[in-house]
Amino acid sequence: MFVPLLVDDLANTFAWSRHGTSRPESCASLDADAVQTNCVKCVEGDGAQIRVVDPVSGAVTYSDLPSLELPGGINPTSFIFTMISISVLFQAIVFISVGSLGDYGNYRRRGLIFASTLGAVACVLFVVLPSSASLYWLGGLLIMVSNVSLGVSVVFYNSYLPLMVEDSALVVGALKGYNEGMLGDDEVYKAREAANSEYSSKGQMWGYVGGTTCLVLSVVVVFVCSVLGASDWWSYGIAASMSGVWWLAFSAPAFKRLPERPGPPPPKDVNLFLQGWLRTGALLKRLHRVSPNTNVFLLLFFVFSDGYATIATVSVLFASRELCMGALELSALAVIVPLFAAVGGYAWHAAQVKTGWSSKFVLVLNLMFLAALPLWGCVGFFTTAIGLRKPVELYVLAVWFGMCLGSAQAFGRAVFSELIPKGHEADMFALFEITDKGSSWMGPLIAASVVQTTGKIRPVLIYLLCAMVLPGGLLYALDLEPSIKAAKGDAGGVAKDGAEDAE
């Protein structure tokens, strides 16, 4: 929430200093009795504009700000999108390199602890950025470290999910009935799907409850800083740093209680980091032969997960730059999304239980509902009255976005976990993270190109609309049941192929 705002503002301020002049004063800060001309005014729906008053007629006109550049010719607002894109490319490399570690020995727990600690410390260091606008580059570096660390920690975190599902009373009972000849494959499948969706939805819900609590505390900090007269830079820096402190504080007791759940010993005379690439290649080849629709699902997930991740990033800067929302308004917006994501995760899971919908069908519904957000924003191309032209619209859409976001993430993970062969939890979730977090370079890169070319953020909404609708429709038509059965019944073949390729 606060990191894009902080780094973007630092980059713009530094770009103004390179422009040969200081940033024009805000019209709101000038004497009310003065003729407020040649100052910057944020116009709702259009963003920051230069306000010019004709000294004779008093007529008021607005013009775009001059084109600003950072070293290398990059637009300062596209800098944040570029840094996110680069960080995600690094994520994809690291995911593959360390993804298989979680399946051997006690690397699953060690990897989670190391990555989480590194990411949290990087978040804490955002507090040093407000000391100088010239440190915008350090903000970009910290974005990369924290993003990569977060993604790696989630790889190891998610790899616990299939193990928890197999140990659940529901699945253990179903397997016992299957072995005794009382239950069939369909009953075992339904038990796994129910346990998957329950754990995934509840985990996602409580994660958002924790995130919302942290954000509420951050909003209090931002409010106190505003009352004390602190700049937005310091408000954003302290709030971003608090997320790192929160991450560290709640990781410690979790890591202390988390079981090792060790896997088999690592293979001898094999580089474990190279092993990740070999196992990933073997998995993709085997999945293509045994369950090709799994690869299709990964491709679709690659696109739509990038879409809803980019919606979150773009919305923050869109609200600040084009809807003129201040720190406290943005803070309130930040609280709304995770709060309703927790509510939405619970509500969609309850709807699934009541209706008997499959996890895939619920996921498709979520994607179609999420597509309504960029669709509404595209209305703003044709009118200045509606279509994300007023802040109140964004508050309403934040509720809508939250109600669907948590559920889409939870059911996406639940569907994928059903496709995982036993013994390949960590490296398969590395693939999942490559297609989830690892795909999130595409939207920011497109956003950076659009902003670099047009100077506006609104055209990015066209891409976001396509990223929801097209993969959602294709996913609806995709039959995953054969792939799920193949994953549970042919895990040995995948393991064998992986071992042969490793050798």
Task: Indicate if the pLDDT at residue 218 is higher than 50.
Answer: yes
Over residues 278-319, the pLDDT tens digits come to 777 877 777 677 667 888 888 898 888 888 888 888 888 888
- pLDDT by residue (tens digit) across 66-88? 777 888 888 888 898 888 888 88
What is residue 426's predicted lDDT score, i.e. its pLDDT?
Answer: 62
Helix ranges, 159-184 (H): 161-167, 169-179
Percent of the chain exceeding pLDDT 70 equals 90
Residue 325: predicted pLDDT: 85
Helix, strand or coil, per DSSP, at residue 40: strand
- Identify the pLDDT of residue 436: 66
472: amino acid identity, one letter: G
pLDDT above 90 coverage of the chain, percent: 23
75 near 69, Cβ under 8 Å? yes
| Weakest-pLDDT range from 74-88, 100-114, 431-445, 465-479 | 431-445
**CA-atom Rg of the chain in angstroms:** 24
> What is the distance, to the nearest Å, from the Cα of residue 37 to the centroid of all Cα atoms in its chain?
41
Res 474: pLDDT: 94
Are 314 and 460 spatial neighbours (Cβ–Cβ below 8 Å)? yes
With CA atoms as reference, report the closest residue to 273 among 104, 97, 92, 501. 97
**Region of poorest pLDDT, from 122-131, 157-166, 286-295, 446-455:** 286-295
Q: Is the dihedral of CA 136, 141, 146, 151 positive or negative?
A: positive
Q: What is the pLDDT of residues 9-66, one digit of tens each?
A: 899 889 888 876 666 777 766 655 456 777 788 777 777 788 888 777 778 788 777 7
pLDDT at 345: 84
- Maximum pairwise Cα distance, the chain: 94
DSSP helix/strand/coil, 41: strand
Amino acid letter, residue 306 = D
pLDDT recorded at residue 492: 43
Cβ atoms of residues 295 and 431 within 8 Å: no
For 208-220, what is the mean pLDDT?
85
pLDDT in tens, 123-138: 999 999 999 999 999 9
- Give residue 423's pLDDT: 64
> Residue 47: enclosing H or E segment and its boundaries?
strand 47-53
**Choice between 501 and 178, residue whose per-residue pLDDT is larger:** 178
Instruction: Inform me whether the pLDDT recorded for 202 exceeds 80.
Output: yes
- Per-residue pLDDT, averaged over 171-188, amounts to 88
Residue 163 near residue 261 (C-beta atoms within 8 A): yes
Q: pLDDT band at 495, cuts 50/70/90?
A: very low
State yes or no: pLDDT of 428 exceeds 60.
yes
3-state secondary structure of 52: strand
Report pLDDT for 489.
66
Rounded to whole angstroms, how far apart are CA atoms 403 and 372? Answer: 13
**Which of 183, 181, 160, 158 shows the shortest CA–CA distance to 170?**
183
Q: Which residues pair with 51 in a beta bridge?
A: 39, 62
Q: How far apart are CA 413 and CA 479, in angstroms?
A: 17
389-394: list long-range contacts, CB under 8 Å, 24+ apart: 389/44, 389/45, 389/323, 390/44, 390/45, 390/323, 391/44, 391/319, 391/323, 391/324, 391/325, 391/329, 394/315, 394/318, 394/319, 394/323, 394/325, 394/333
Q: Is the pLDDT of residue 482 over 50?
A: yes
pLDDT at residue 344 above 70? Answer: yes
What mean pLDDT, rounded, does the chain reach? 83
Which tens digits make up the pLDDT trace of 365-386?
Answer: 999 999 999 999 999 888 888 8
Domains of the chain, each with CATH number or no CATH? 20-64 (no CATH), 76-502 (1.20.1250.20)
pLDDT for 422 equals 67
Average pLDDT over residues 176-194: 86
